[in-house]
Copies of this chain bind each other. A is one copy, B any other.
């Protein structure tokens, strides 16, 4: 059994998703997850501050990628155009990982306490986006408004794409931004 922290971390994440899907989130104990991953319960809490967090590492990476994409966008783009560009840039992450992200999303949708954590993470993410937009010289209120509306689109588009992947994410994003302009 390797003692590399990263390895144990991934085993914990895999075990958690598998067990949650099998028995449901609240009928799975952290002890069971740890056992299946070959570590002690204490190790679970060393890697993740609470039981839910084991499913949300991908969102941290997403935040980093989006922040970078916004910082690198051409200066003459409008706030919404910057966001649209950033979203398009991270879209491949989802399309490449549908076999992981879809079951994960299904689990989250049917588990209120996980849904709550996800919504909260998306809220924090929109806060991060707002800060990134402000760094480009956009005034605070507009940055917040753009970031929050942008995240609304982001969540909505992913949701639609999970349900019907026959259209590409890029396509969904384009249409959604056009729709928002019309409203």
Contact = CB atoms under 8 A, between A and B. Distances in A.
Interface stretch (A3-11, A20-28, A37-45, A112-120): A112-120
Interface stretch (A67-75, A88-96, A99-107, A152-160): A152-160
A149 B152 CA distance: 6
Given A116-B116, A141-B160, A145-B180, 7 more contacts: A80-B183, A119-B123, A120-B120, A142-B179, A145-B176, A148-B153, A148-B156
Nearest to A175: B141
Q: What 4 A-B pairs are tightest by C-beta distance, nearest first?
A: A148-B152, A116-B120, A119-B123, A119-B120
Contacts of A160: 141
Majority-rule SS of A interface residues? helix
A13 interface: no
Interface string A128-161: 0000000000000110111011011101100010
A179 B119 contact: no
A156 B119 CA distance: 16
B141 A145 contact: no
A79 B182 CA distance: 10
A29 interface: no
B79 A183 contact: yes
A80 B149 CA distance: 13
A115 B120 CA distance: 8
A98 B119 CA distance: 26
26 contacts: A78-B183, A79-B183, A80-B183, A116-B116, A116-B120, A119-B119, A119-B120, A119-B123, A120-B120, A126-B152, A141-B156, A141-B160, A141-B179, A142-B179, A142-B183, A145-B152, A145-B153, A145-B176, A145-B179, A145-B183, A146-B183, A148-B155, A148-B156, A149-B149, A149-B152, A151-B152
